[in-house]
Amino acid sequence: MPVRDAVESDIDEICAMIEEHARYEGNDDLVLDRAEMRRYLFGPDPKAWVLIAEVDGETAGMAFCTWSFSTWEAKPGIWLDDLFIRPAYRRSGLGRQLLYELRARTDGRVEWEMQEGNEKAAAFYAELGAEPVPGWVRYRWKR
């Protein structure tokens, strides 16, 4: 079960998995602009990066990330924006493998958010030793 950095030729699979994840979460309308995503991931000034998990040459999952920085720890970290494993490959260790690879890439924080009520994900993250951050509320400011 290799995990590797995404390359430009992965763009269709990356966008497809994001759209599949959106549908899994109840958003049936999301359709991404592949050219725009290609520019953000692989253009001259990338804004994010992706790890791909493969099984027998098939794209099975991904971790979509950006770098972060903690002023209080004075260390770079990783913001995991999206972790998605296609249904046929769930419970095979891929999510754990992707998260371990992220952990290996920084000595700072690896952080993400999870929808309330997702008990399966909460149990999985607790099993890894990850904990919710008490006392913090996430805000979002959109245009």
pLDDT number for residue 39? 98
pTM of the entire predicted model: 0.91
Total number of domains in the chain? 1
7-46 residue pLDDT tens = 999 999 999 999 999 998 899 999 999 999 999 999 999 9
pLDDT value at position 83? 96
Q: What is the CATH number of the domain that holds 48?
A: 3.40.630.30
pLDDT of 123 over the 70 cut: yes
133 part of a folded domain:
no
Could you tell me if residue 113 is inside a domain? yes
Q: Name which of 132, 142, 55 is nearest 90 in CA terms.
A: 55
Domain assignment of residue 142, yes or no: no
Q: Within a 10 A sphere around the Cβ of 69, how many other Cβ atoms?
A: 12
What pLDDT digit, counting tens, does each position of 74-94 carry? 999 999 999 999 999 999 999
**What does pLDDT average to over the chain?**
93
Instruction: Tell me whether residue 67 is in a domain.
Output: yes
Range of the domain at 78: 3-128
